[in-house]
Amino acid sequence: MISLLIIAFGVTLIYLAVAERMKTYNTLIAVQGLLLFFITFIELGSLDVWHLVLILLETLVIKVIVLPYFIHRLLIKKGGDRPVALVVPGYISLTVVSTIIFFSFLLSYLLHDQQIQVKYFTGAIAAIFTGLYLIIVHKQVFTHMMGYLTIENGIFLLSLAIGNEMPLLVNLAVLLDVFSSVLILGIFIDRLEAFSTLDVDQLEELKD
């Protein structure tokens, strides 16, 4: 079951590489959140109730409901579901992300470390590098934020791969930070839109 969910997570990464509309990106990030919720729920069945509530909050409430709703309301509903400018043709991005996933598999199997769970580790590394790829090739701040959220999901999966639990207080602080960082990023995208500078090429007044 978990393998299927990880494969579905990988499929969302491939879809992200070729997505053209803001709404598609937002939906894909929400789907990733839902998959992470199921993976965590199956994997961490024996957790105490507070940790479970916290993880539920992080995945189901924040990643699946609050953030996509917030992004939709702030960016998509206001300006319409605009297409995202693809700087690199879709088929090249598809090849690159597929290669990233392939090498993530290769790396995970070559490591032979008993501490890590190979399935999660593969998904995590693939998500982190796909997120970085999205940030590098896209020129719009919206897609940069989607890349950042993909990296965040990758990091979440990486923490599952390791399975080293942190104290509740630390988990809570991390959750609060991740949540507020995305909210604040969203607010600033909204401000940038007011200045009509959603393209990073226009953000180059600060230089020597």
Partner 1 sequence: MTEIYFIISVVLIITLFFVRVIAISHALVFIFIGLLGWLCVNEWLLLDLPVEGLLHADALGVLFLFITLIITFFSTIHYIIYAQKRNQGVRAISIHNGSFVIFVTAISGVFLSTHIGLLWAFLEASTLSGAALIYHDRDRLALEATWKYLFVSSIGVTLGFAGIMFLSIAAHNTPNDIDSLIAAAPLMNIGWIKTSFIFVLTGFSVKMGAVPLFTIDIDAKDSSPSPIGAMFSGPLMSVGFMAIFRFYQIYSHTSILPWMNNLLLLTGVLSLFLAAVFILKTNNYKRMLAYSSMEHAGLILVAFSTGVTGYLVAILHLTIHAFAKAGLFFEIGQVHRVFNSKIMEECGGYFKISPIGSITVLAGLLAIVAFPPSGLFMTEFMLFKSLMISGKWWIVFIVMFLLCFFVYAMVRNFFSLVFIDNPQAKFFAKVNPLESVPPLVLIGTVLVVGVMRPEFVIDLINKAILVLPH
Compute how many residues bind partner 1; rule: CB under 8 A. Answer: 40
Q: How far is the CB of 202 from partner 1 (least distance, A)?
A: 9
Asked if residue 208 binds partner 1 (CB under 8 A), the reply is: yes
Question: 95 or 115, CB closer to partner 1?
Answer: 115
Question: 74 or 162, CB closer to partner 1?
Answer: 162
Distance, C-alpha 180 to centroid of its chain: 15
Asked if residue 135 binds partner 1 (CB under 8 A), the reply is: yes
- Count the alpha carbons within 13 Å of 191 in the hemisphere toward its beta carbon: 7
Dump the DSSP string for 59-125: IIIIIIIIHHHHHIIIIIHHH-SPBPP-SS-HHHHHHHHHHHHHHHHHHHHHH--TTS-HHHHHHHH
Phi, then psi, of 199 in degrees rounded to 5: -100, 130
Q: How far is the CB of 182 from partner 1 (least distance, A)?
A: 9
Stretch that binds partner 1, among 13-21, 46-54, 91-99, 153-161 (CB under 8 A): 153-161
Question: 86 or 192, CB closer to partner 1?
Answer: 192
For residues 3-34, one letter each, b for 16 or more C-beta atoms within 10 angstroms of the residue's C-beta and e for the rest, the string is: eebbebbbebbbbbbebeebbbbbbbbbbbbb
Question: What are the residues binding partner 1 (CB under 8 A)?
Answer: 113, 115-116, 128, 135, 141, 144-145, 148, 151-152, 155, 158-159, 162, 164, 166-167, 169-171, 173-174, 176-178, 180-181, 184-185, 188-189, 191-192, 195, 197, 203, 205-206, 208
